[in-house]
Every structure is written in C-alpha cells, then in structure tokens.
Amino acid sequence: MITKEMLKDYANKLMFDMKEEEYETLQKEFDVILRQMDLIGEFEGIKDVEPMTFPYVIYHAKFREDVVKDEISTEEALMNAKDVKDNQVRVPKVVE
C-alpha cells in the first residue's frame, strides 16, 4: 500500500513538492503502476540472471587524453546564472 505520505517523501527526497490534489492523482496512478511492476518479478530463476545495464558489450570505448582541450570563458560559464557577483554565482549565506 502506497500512502500519500510515502509519495511526498519520495518527491521531497528529489527536492520538489507537489500539490495535494496531484498527490491524490499520483496515488491512484500507483495502483496501476504497482500492478504493472508485479509483471517484472514473476519469472522463475530470474535471480540467476545478471542485470543488464548497457545494450551490448562495447569493445571500442573511446577515452580522450586527460589534457585541457576545449575551454569556455568565465563569461560563458556564468551567462546562464541569474545572480552573479565578482565572477561567482551568488547564493544565500551558508554561515550566518
């Protein structure tokens, strides 16, 4: 059984919140989701299968040399930040 409080906890762990009515909709949706998820575990001997995390074994993984190549300017690095001072992103004081 998934409660609204559990859903709120899952959302808050990912650092966002939802409206009360949105949690209610989600709780109803979880009834279907949990039944769908039950389809995953219903296989004999599934525990012996190695979980797959990538489509196929990659033999040609490309690593570049650890040297500086492409750089962006300080202005570029900061151009999408909304609050900048002295070439740094300004945030609230951490230590009062």
Binding site for another protein (CB under 8 A): 2, 7, 10-11, 13-19, 22, 25-26, 29, 32-33, 35-37, 39-43, 46-47, 49-56, 58, 60-64, 70, 72, 76-83, 89, 91-92, 94
Q: How far apart are CA 88 and CA 81, in angstroms?
A: 9
H-only helix segments in 1-96:
4-13, 20-38, 74-78
21 in helix, strand or coil?
helix
Minimum distance, C-beta of residue 12 to another protein, in the bound complex (Å): 8
Nearer to another protein, 82 or 85 (CB): 82
Minimum distance, C-beta of residue 86 to another protein, in the bound complex (Å): 15
